[in-house]
Amino acid sequence: MSYSTFNRKKFDSLQEPMFFGENVNVARYDQQKHPIFEKLIEKQLSFFWRPEEVDLSNDRKDFLKLEEHEQHIFLSNLKYQTLLDSVQGRSPNVALLPIVSLPELETWIETWSFSETIHSRSYTHIIRNIVNDPTKVFDDIIVNEEIAKRAVSVSKYYDDLIELVNLYNTLGLGTHHVPERGEVVVTMKTLKKALYLTVASVNVLEAIRFYVSFACSFAFAERTLMEGNAKIIKLIARDEALHLNGTQHMMNLMMSGRDDPEMAVIAQECQQDVINIFVEAAQQERDWAQYLFKDGSMIGLNAQILGQYVEYITNVRMQAIGLEPQFPTKNNPIPWINAWLVSDNVQVAPQEAEISSYLVGQIDNDLDGADFDDFDL
Amino acid sequence: MTTLISDTEHQDRTVHRVLLGKKQVLVTEDEPLLPQLERSGILVEYQCREGYCSACTIKLLWGKVDYPIEPLAWVNSGYVLACCAIVKSDIEIALL
Ligand code: FES
Ligand SMILES: [Fe+2]
Ligand SMILES: [Fe+2]
């Protein structure tokens, strides 16, 4: 079968599975097989924000005052996040749109991926504001070995799925000879397995891979340093929690067999692979913490505490999709991070309230206490 | 045992027991489980506090909870989203 941008067949999309059914034709949302994806679209739209709303002029001054090893921590995290959002800004579209079969899920994928492009744009905004030559920072992402290792892990399942789907769409099911790859078996089973592992790997990306970086950003902000950056990270974290919700729903729906009975069998067969994907990612994140702190720690954080946090959060994420926690860490070693991650802006200080779900003007960092004298709280 | 108590404003309020290991916390139906646990000194993981991130998922060993608004997060049976669940009977919970 080959992909059609407007499938001319008449069929009931409420009877289609999430993936590998009919190509979507009419983008309609009056009826939904899985209403959760429509709700996620609405929520994501209500979260819309623009990086330029956050003023970073104080961050520039702060950055110059940081010690060299702290600058290393800060810039390395930005580079890693840039990698992750580069992948996420395109891959859900490229890998999943050709095989999705529900209009609400198709639009969720596009909305999700679009929000990742805002994250990427925010890194340019941050880097442009704190260093004189952004090129140096961006160019290092491709050559930095620590980042390259992670690039392989976050893209390989996507790439496998894309390759299989390309073969399926051009040559159909069967065993195909691919130059430099040999025989590739394309069956519904191998396609669905590649899909399941891709969703599992993206779930882990959204669930775990940002959190070392988030913790460092908030640890700087706890010392009232790089606070504009922390505001941006808060907005990104809020989006990522929603993306995670989306992948958790896909995983849980697949595992339950409620969407596609064959997917439940595949999920069962792949359970150990999924556990391994979690454990491998946790290990990589712990290694990343070691790399960040190789020349020195920062106040309130070190590689060991961050490693425990990675294990803890991995346990939490595994439980959310019905898997047994794999690490002994039962408590959050940095509970203060949750107050930063919380997205509710009603409960925070008036200055913070300017980060909101709707468009606001540029946030002015130079307001001092006197500016709030007129406020009745 | 779930009890009815009359508070100072002469309102009848239903109070339920929440068992967590050897600890016991009394909660009302006036607000979700999470803030009531926090006030009694029990740290529960959270992030969004509005039902979409699933970070506050805890085990529900027995008892009844209810969601005034259906949360966006997926909740498996035997689990409860602490940030938006209203306790409806005596319950026993377990953290990670
Ligand atoms: S804190 Fe996010 S779902 Fe409860
Ligand atoms: Fe992102
Ligand atoms: Fe994301």
Domain boundaries, chain B: 3-94
Tell me whether residues A248 and B73 touch, CB distance under 8 A: yes
Arithmetic mean of pLDDT, A75-94: 97
- Spatial separation of the C-alpha atoms in residues B85 and A255, rounded to whole Å: 25
CA-wise closest residue to B1 among B13, B20, B14, B11? B14
Determine contact, residues A353/A347, Cβ cutoff 8 Å: no
CA-wise closest residue to A75 among A134, A26, A33, A25? A134
- pLDDT band of residue A36 (cuts 50, 70, 90) is very high
Per-residue model confidence (pLDDT) at position B96? 82
Given B43, B45, B76, which is nearest A316 (Cβ)?
A: B45
- Class of the CATH domain delimited by A33-155+201-344: mainly alpha
- pLDDT band of residue A377 (cuts 50, 70, 90) is very low
What is the average pLDDT value for chain A, to the nearest integer? 91
What percent of chain A is predicted at pLDDT more than 90?
89
The packing angle between helices A103-130 and A57-65, to 10°, is: 60
Per-residue model confidence (pLDDT) at position A375? 42
- pLDDT band of residue A259 (cuts 50, 70, 90) is very high
Dihedral (Cα; A74, A78, A79, A83), 10-degree rounding: 150
- Spatial separation of the C-alpha atoms in residues A229 and A239, rounded to whole Å: 16
Stated pTM of the model: 0.91
- pLDDT band of residue B25 (cuts 50, 70, 90) is very high
> Which of A47, A247, A342 is the mutation pick for testing B, counting most B CBs within 10 A?
A342
Closest listed ligand to the CA of B79: 1
DSSP A313: H
Per-residue model confidence (pLDDT) at position A366? 47
Report which of residues A340 and A351 the model is more confident about: A340
- pLDDT band of residue A269 (cuts 50, 70, 90) is very high
pLDDT tens column, A140-168: 999 999 999 999 999 999 999 999 999 99
Given A245, A325, A338, which is nearest B52 (Cβ)?
A: A245
Per-residue model confidence (pLDDT) at position A358? 34
Per-residue model confidence (pLDDT) at position A2? 85
Classified as helix, coil or strand, B12 is strand
Per-residue model confidence (pLDDT) at position B11? 58
The atom of ligand 1 lying closest to the CA of B47 is 1
Dihedral (Cα; B58, B60, B64, B66), 10-degree rounding: 20
Q: Does domain B3-94 have CATH number 3.40.50.300?
A: no
- pLDDT band of residue B7 (cuts 50, 70, 90) is low
Residue A300 pLDDT > 70, yes or no? Answer: yes
Determine contact, residues A78/A229, Cβ cutoff 8 Å: no
